[in-house]
Amino acid sequence: MNNPNYHNWNQMQTDTTSTEVGAVASKAFMTQVFGWMSGALIITALASYLFGMVPELTALLYKTFEGRLAGFTTLGWIVMFSPIAFVLLISFGFNRLSFPVLVMAFLAYSAVTGMSLSTIFFRYETGSIASTFLVAAGMFGTMAVMGFITKADLSGFGRILMMGFVGIFIASIVNWFMQSEMMHYIISFVGVAVFTGLTAYDVQKLKQIGAQQTDSASAAKLSIMGALTLYLDFILLFQFLLRLLGSRK
């Protein structure tokens, strides 16, 4: 006779093994994601500092007058819009681009993003930039850990946050014409809340994606996309925090 308890036990063992394999794959995948993200942030920070603080490099991007930003050079305008082009290239070319090309595009993107962010050194005190970066890193790290360990499903929460992101985008365009200081701070507060929450949501989503990866080549390419997602969360969180906490020159 068939023993139903034996079959149930066998099924439980299979499910447990599958769960353990998924957990190992997920951790390995997230290690790659955070590794690429960390490398990109280092490149961004270095590029931002060099092009914001070294006069010879600053002159390549900006026109200055008495130490203040007075305009952009031709290269400066190209750099300002390059990050958008790289994001589109990586996103829409994901399936066609090889892994090495994808890596080079991501690292180049992090460099031009750093160059475009170098304007913050004209607007904020250097010490304020550094302290805000540390605050952003602490908030990001906390929410990343929460997103990784929580058992709660954050998918519904993520949809609300994405709606908030769209609202921020529209409000920012409107305020570009209005130039309202109050609206500026409201957008910044909401931006901090949205990208703090999106960090946890995106980490949980990437953890689930990693658990399903069985092909190493596919996982490697997806880790670049995951790194890009979390990189954007961090950069935007940092920028909104800097608007609130930064000491202006």
Residue range 203-226, pLDDT digits in tens? 999 999 888 877 777 889 999 999
* pLDDT surpasses 90 at 9: no
Do residues 229 and 206 make contact, with C-beta atoms less than 8 angstroms apart? yes
* pLDDT surpasses 90 at 197: yes
Per the document, the length of the chain is 249
58 versus 12: the higher-pLDDT residue is 58
Q: Distances from the Cα of 172 to the Cαs of 70, 155, 179, 196, in angstroms?
A: 23, 26, 10, 18
In this structure, the strands spanning 68-72 and 62-65 are: antiparallel
What is d(CA 40, CA 7) in angstroms, rounded to the nearest whole number? 49
What is d(CA 207, CA 147) in angstroms, rounded to the nearest whole number? 9
23 versus 2: the higher-pLDDT residue is 23
The H or E element containing residue 70 is strand 68-72
What is the three-class DSSP state of 71?
strand
Residue range 77-125, pLDDT digits in tens? 999 999 999 999 998 888 899 999 999 999 999 999 999 999 999 999 9
What is d(CA 63, CA 187) in angstroms, rounded to the nearest whole number? 29
- Nearest C-alpha neighbor of 32 from the set 214, 241, 207, 249: 207
